[in-house]
Amino acid sequence: GPSTAYIFIPRRMEVLIAHPPAPGGTRRCEWWRLAESRLWEGPRVLLPFSPGCLEMSWEPRVRKATVVIMGSHTAGKSSVRKRLAERMQWESDEELGTSMRGENEEQGKYPTAWDDVLHQAEVARDQERMSTSTSRVVETWHLGNFVWAITRRPEQHGDLLKRAVDAIQQEQEATIVLLVLLKINPSTMVRRRATFQTSAMAFQDEEVDASK
């Protein structure tokens, strides 16, 4: 049957290109870099290359990944997170805002400090994950939490954005961070909400929310 492919494209990659030997010399190879502008930069560094064994002066480093699944209601965030984590045998971190909601929050009654408490819990989970060697798939995360926060505190847009970016940059020091946005059209969102009841939001408000 029909299927959907999710392709993750790195924002920056490096390629080792080998060149034929010069007359009487040895082969050489260069590191070339594909930047965010999609234009090749380089050579970054020139390394000797020969058919024999090379004595490396550096050790390759494998970095773990943090794949962030974001999207609106019913976009499929939880489904993609669970399937990807299962396939890759990675940690699967659900949306903290969902797991932390109580009865009042389910009714849309958020306390003033809700976004601050959620941010602190997200940072604490990040620090816990940094102590492990396993990659992870996380739902919504700091950027998604920021989008929710500015709907409640638009006057603090700058401060909320700064702390979200700071947290993401902190994560990038230890892992490769991939941000994946799942998009669906408003009519699909409303249809899925009516069928699966995936949100605490009153259904009559869903179409308005879908158009944002």
Type of residue found at 141 = W
pLDDT of residue 160: 96
Average pLDDT score, the chain: 75
Higher confidence at residue 46 or residue 113? 113
CA–CA distance from 61 to each of 46, 58, 67 (Å)?
19, 9, 19
Residue keyed to tokens 């010399």: 25
Predicted local distance difference test score (pLDDT) of residue 55: 43
The tens digit of pLDDT for each residue in 55-83 reads 444 444 557 999 999 988 888 999 999 99
Smallest CA-to-CA distance from 192 within 165, 176, 210 is with 210
CA angle 126–165–31, rounded 5-degree value: 90
Two tokens at 197? Answer: 């009841």
* pLDDT greater at residue 81 or residue 200: 81
Q: How far apart are CA 15 and CA 32, in angstroms?
A: 5
Q: d(Cα 104, Cα 110) in Å, to the nearest integer?
A: 7
Which of the four pLDDT bands, split at 50, 70 and 90, describes residue 194?
Answer: confident
Please tell me the distance from the alpha carbon of residue 164 to that of residue 146, in angstroms, as a whole number.
Answer: 7
Alpha-carbon gap, residue 3 to 187, rounded angstroms: 21
pTM: 0.64
Position 101 scores a pLDDT of: 84
Q: CA–CA separation, 184 vs 149, rounded Å?
A: 22
Structural contact between residues 153 and 160, judged by C-beta atoms closer than 8 angstroms: yes
